[in-house]
Amino acid sequence: MITKLVEKSPNSQSFHNYLVKQGYTTYPITAWGLEELTYCALFFNPTIDVAKAKRAASLAALNTSKIKPNPSINGKVSRSNLKNGDVSPWAFGLGLDLPVDIANKREIQSTIASNEAEILKIDIALTAWQLQHQVALLLTDYYESQALIALLNKEFATQSAIVGLLDKRMQLGMIDSRELNAAKLLQQKTLQTLNVEEADAVEIRGVLGSTVGLTSAHFEPLQIKSFSIEKHQQLKLALNNLTVNVNNQSLQTTALLNRLDIRAALIHYEVAENQLKLAVAIQYPDITLSPSYAFEFGDSIWSLGISSLFNLLNKNTSLNASLINEATQLREVKAAQFEALQAKVIADLNQAQTAYILAISQVAQAETLVKQQSVLDKSLQKQFDSGLIDRLALTSNQMITINASQNLVRSQFKSLRAAYAIEDVMQHPLYNSTLLNEPKTSQ
């Protein structure tokens, strides 16, 4: 088992064959994005194997439920001492027991098994969807971390330049040590934040590797695709399109019609309905026909027997009534659970839409601040070139610009997560883009 886990490699021929089967032709893969990592998770993550194994077991149970019970045969032989004047000293008997299903109980049980198999089929698709969502969120976290690391490095370099300028001023007696020490403290805080962010990026990458089902030895060498949310115009257009249509009634309709757990809940109700039918059918016990032939001491005897439970004459026993009542209540529970699930989906979608609208408004505010700061940067640069301000003033303003850019990056990725939340509530892809496309499963 350990060998099997260790040998899972994205360079394996089996994974290559899987990609070809899914229509993915860019091989070998030189850079890994959401599409490639999702394929990897669907192929290597063991939770998919567990879901498929449960489905296979349910299909085996379904086949078993369709098998009719075999008839049984019995025979006997005996010998007489002829003291009674028997014609023959031998007696032979041969009989068959043929079970007969009454009230279609076997058919109902087979339907229940078929429903349960369908539920587990949906469970495979749900597992695949959850894996895609997890990979998308982890990759988003990783991209945000990389973007912040770049800005923190820039912030640290700018603060170091400020410290250098203040140090020269202190040596010239223009300032005291308090101003320099304050700048050094900010420099150290930025360095600490940078170190934490770099450690977080390593941790996120590790979790991403385990999510796609690879060991660190196989995942670490993979080159993750570069990503800039600012330059990803297709993604920006998709997010803007979602902003326009975020209150569209079609989102709610899609969620209620497409969610996998709602489909499963409907089948669970159907199972409860069939269990009620089975409880009613149990009132009518099966019978066994027993034709037989006997040769007894010279006489040939044919007979036909029939056997059944005694409650054939008394169907409304307390036990049967209890089973029917229990099945009826179970059906009511499944109906209530289905309605509750629908209500929860609507509430979750409304909450996700509200969060997305708020996130988009924060992006707009952050973009406004960055634009205003960019205009100020250009103005101060002209003043610096003209000798109206010194380098310290110019560099200090650059710090404000960097901080505004960090806030914009955080708000942009927050809006992306909010969009993913809407997508997850609907369990349906919202976008047709390279980053946010719908993966093909191995089913």
Per-residue pLDDT tens over the stretch 341-378: 889 988 998 898 889 889 988 998 999 999 999 999 99
Residue 225 has pLDDT above 80, yes or no: yes
What pLDDT is attached to residue 294? 65
Rg for the chain (alpha carbons), in Å? 37
Cα(294)–Cα(302) distance, integer angstroms? 6
In tens, the pLDDT along 127-139 reads 999 999 999 999 9
**200 found inside a domain:** yes
Sign of CA dihedral 119, 125, 128, 132: negative
Number of separate domains in the chain: 1
What pLDDT is attached to residue 378? 93
**301 found inside a domain:** no
Closest by CA position to 32, among listed 235, 227, 203, 200: 227
* pLDDT confidence band for 197 (50 / 70 / 90): very high
Residue 12 has pLDDT above 80, yes or no: yes
**72 found inside a domain:** no
Q: Under 8 Å CB-to-CB from 344, ≥6 apart: which residues?
A: none
What pLDDT is attached to residue 231? 63
Domain of 168 in residue numbering reads as 2-62+106-283+318-426
Q: In terms of C-beta density within 10 A (0-12 exposed, 13-18 middle, 19 or more buried), how is residue 117 classed?
A: buried
What pLDDT is attached to residue 434? 34
Domain containing residue 238: CATH number: 1.20.1600.10
* pLDDT confidence band for 443 (50 / 70 / 90): very low
Cα(277)–Cα(288) distance, integer angstroms? 22
β-partners of residue 76 are 93
Cβ(132)–Cβ(427) below 8 Å: no
Question: Coil, strand, or helix at residue 69?
Answer: coil
**69 found inside a domain:** no
**310 found inside a domain:** no
What pLDDT is attached to residue 430? 66
**373 found inside a domain:** yes
How confident is the model over 395-406, as a mean pLDDT?
94
How confident is the model over 317-344, as a mean pLDDT?
83
* pLDDT confidence band for 436 (50 / 70 / 90): very low
**302 found inside a domain:** no
Q: Can you spell out the DSSP letters for 170-221?
A: HHTTSS-HHHHHHHHHHHHHHHHHHHHHHHHHHHHHHHHHHHTT--HHHHTT
Residue 440 has pLDDT above 60, yes or no: no
**249 found inside a domain:** yes
Closest by CA position to 216, among listed 200, 205, 227: 205
* pLDDT confidence band for 239 (50 / 70 / 90): low
